[in-house]
Amino acid sequence: MKTHGIVAEFSSPATLLEAATRIREAGYTRYDCHSPFPIHGMDSAMGLGRSPVGFIVGGMALLGASVGFSLQSWVNLSAYPLVISGKPVFSWQAFIIVTFALFVLFGAFGAVFGMLRLNRLPRLHHPMFFSETLSKATDDGFLVSVDADDPRFDEDETRSFLVSIGAEHIELVRGDV
């Protein structure tokens, strides 16, 4: 059976926060912290930066607005120019509604697909789901999972490191997948 990682349990949110800092400082990159509620400061303890989703949404929204405005301009100026009631051919004020609608639509698509891509989804089954200990994360567990894909991962060294930083219960996760 293949080893997928290690799950370690800690006694409190404070010890989990300290463990996250120590794991990051030790050079591990493929790990995650699990708790039944958000812990203030966990992002900085894990060394996570700001999410790039906002830039993806902004870029897609501007692309949508550009597509909407350009399409309407092209249609009214060259493809099918009509002069109605003496109005100018290029009457940009009338383009704002469609431009705004495509701004919102492309931004929404950027948010959904950007989030899915950054979270590496859809993934119907993660190998760490073989862990019995990980099921406590939604109830009363404060856990750290270290993936076997991490460059620093070694079963014995990682286990001893997690014990040295205060892990109470450690489970080696193995499975067929």
- Across the beta sheet with 2-10, what order do the strands follow? 31-34, 142-147, 2-10, 169-175
Q: What percent of the chain has pLDDT over 70?
A: 99
Separation between Cα atoms, residue 15 and residue 23, nearest integer Å: 12
pLDDT, mean over the chain:
93
pLDDT digits (tens, 9 = 90+) for 30-66: 999 999 999 999 999 999 999 999 999 999 999 999 9
Q: Is the domain 2-49+128-175 a CATH 3.30.70 member?
A: yes
Q: Where in the chain is the domain with CATH 3.30.70?
A: 2-49+128-175
Q: Is the pLDDT at 177 greater than 70, yes or no?
A: no
- What's this model's pTM, rounded to 2 decimal places? 0.77
